[in-house]
Structure 1
Amino acid sequence: MIGDVPRRADSSQVATQLRVIGALFMRELLTRFGTSRVGFIWLLAEPMFLALMISTMHWASGHGVGNNLPTFLFYAMGYTPFVMFRSIVNRGQNVINANMSLLFHRNITLLDLAIARNLMEAAVCSMIITLFVTVAAVFFDEWPHEPALLFCGLMMSALLAHGLSMLLAALTCFYEPLERFTHPLTYLMMPISATFYMLSMLPSESRDLLLINPLVHVHEMNRWAQFGDRVVPYYSIPYVLCWILGLNLLGMAGLRAARSRITMME
């Protein structure tokens, strides 16, 4: 007598989507870095090179950043998180057009595509930031003041970029020329995001105006998490969380609206 053959339990919808996102993540990773390591090297070299140049200019002029802050680490910790934000927004906006053929698969949604691509960008940039922090700690005795808060700051930057990239990807389906403006606009955000300066250096009027930008709060929080009482931070975590919630809800709603406008071509 043959007993019942054991069967694999049906996977839940959540488990299925997690596997889909994992597969898409590996696909994005191989697509970006599988055939060439030049892209990864440049992703590491760009913030290092810029931080080194700015640090050298300040050193040559005899002007540091004060309070015995390491000049190179100060600028690297400002620019590298901004690189993550810019990279997620710029590459995430094109996620629909770049992966149109994958939407033939029933289990793949626009949200899965956005999460996989943006998660890959965030993971790679986070590795670079971790490398900077580790080198500073081991070789220059610059240990993070609040490592957990620094990690939260990086997560907030990634989630802000994730929500904005989903919203832009959806809007691009309705107005395709929008894609041409995203790259220059993300560069223009750099001077108003406290990437290379602290708010404590500015007058109160300018400070209050810049604090409208949630990225300013994130950068100020990251600096305090790294340097502690050597800096005077200005940030509000609830304010950033409100922006994260709003952008991500708008982004998901936008992707849902864009799905009906996508025409699948054989």
Structure 2
Amino acid sequence: MQQGLLPQHHPLRQWPAWRTISALMFREMSTSYGKSPGGFVWTILEPVGGIALLTVIFSLAVRIPPMGSSFALFYATGLLPFLMFLDISKKVAQSLQFSKQLLFYPGVTFVDAIFARFLLACMVHAMVFVIVLTGIIWYDNVELIVNVPLVVLAFLMSGGLALGVGCANCFLMRRFPVWANVWAIITRPLFLISCIFIPFDSMPEGFRTVLWYNPLIHIVGTNRSGFYSTYRAEYVEPIYVVLIATVLFGSGLALLTKWHRDLAQR
């Protein structure tokens, strides 16, 4: 529908940024999922394959998972929010590069590019969460009561942290290209120190003091407490994660506001 044919008070005319964001989201859907063989299916198969591999390896060494009776569910509740954080933060960090040519149009801003990638990635991972976890619960015949508010909180915390980190990295990686290599080195140990394999409470006390400052610990703990009613993640502080995400997002947005025109031309 052409803009001139829309009523003056139509919502799409009152919120032009949403039209731009929607168009960018549809563009990425066709680019990322429409051209590759399998498309969206590979987004589901990646976490499923990782969880299956972890389940087989650790079930051979340990008869009982650290929580509950299903190895797959235990690892999924830790792995899914972790993969969500990595994927969304990476996509947000690459927003300027991905929409580089479109940023020269007057109706498209770098904020539109960031939120388009962020919202689409969140929608994809929400579907991954539901499909993978529902499949595991059905396949392993797990009986549990899911605390939906806690699971949603963990999802929002993971998405918010990814947005903050991605926005800061969007500036740093474009302004200082070497930062991409530095960040890859920094994040490599996260897979081992985010309590995906071992619950935070089972870690040595001295190690826990340092490990607590990893915000992913709080996200994984919140998500697992939503699936295991007897698990009390008393160490979790959502405000800590929100504070880090807010500071990084605000800093990244301020720097991009000042430098985005120069960065878009690189």
Using the size of structure 2 for normalisation, the TM-score is: 0.88
| 19-28 or 176-185: bigger deviation | 176-185
Superposition deviation, residue 71 in structure 1 = 0.7
Aligned counterpart, 1:3: none
Aligned counterpart, 1:170: 171
Residues 8/183 of structure 1: CA separation in 2 closer, same or farther (3 Å cut): same
Residues 143/132 of structure 1: CA separation in 2 closer, same or farther (3 Å cut): farther
Aligned counterpart, 2:83: 83
1:211 & 1:120 partners in 2: Cα distance? 30
Summarize the alignment of residues 1-266 of structure 1 with structure 2, pairs less than 5 Å apart.
8-9=7-8, 15-139=15-139, 140-230=141-231, 232-262=233-263, 264=265
| Structure with bigger gyration radius | 1
1:258 & 1:248 partners in 2: Cα distance? 15
Residues 68/192 of structure 1: CA separation in 2 closer, same or farther (3 Å cut): closer
Aligned partners of 1:85 and 1:157 also within 8 Å: yes
Aligned partners of 2:221 and 2:236 also within 8 Å: yes
1:176 & 1:138 partners in 2: Cα distance? 45
Aligned partners of 2:25 and 2:120 also within 8 Å: yes
Residues 153/7 of structure 1: CA separation in 2 closer, same or farther (3 Å cut): closer
Q: Aligned with 2:108: secondary structure? A: coil
1:212-261 deviation per Cα after TM superposition (whole angstroms, max 9, x unaligned): 01111010010001112146552011111211211211121122122242
Give 5+ residue unaligned stretches, structure 1. Answer: 1-5
Superposition deviation, residue 13 in structure 1 = 8.4
Superposition deviation, residue 81 in structure 1 = 1.4
Superposition deviation, residue 141 in structure 1 = 3.7
Superposition deviation, residue 82 in structure 1 = 1.1
Superposition deviation, residue 68 in structure 1 = 3.0
1:134 & 1:218 partners in 2: Cα distance? 20
2:260 & 2:66 partners in 1: Cα distance? 51
Q: How many residues align?
A: 260
1:90 & 1:22 partners in 2: Cα distance? 20
CA root-mean-square deviation: 2.4
1:39-66 deviation per Cα after TM superposition (whole angstroms, max 9, x unaligned): 5333212221221122112222233224
2:109 & 2:232 partners in 1: Cα distance? 44
1:7 & 1:134 partners in 2: Cα distance? 42
**% identity of equivalent residues:** 24
Give 5+ residue unaligned stretches, structure 2. Answer: none
1:140-174 deviation per Cα after TM superposition (whole angstroms, max 9, x unaligned): 24445311210121111011011111111111232
One-letter amino acid matched to 1:161: A
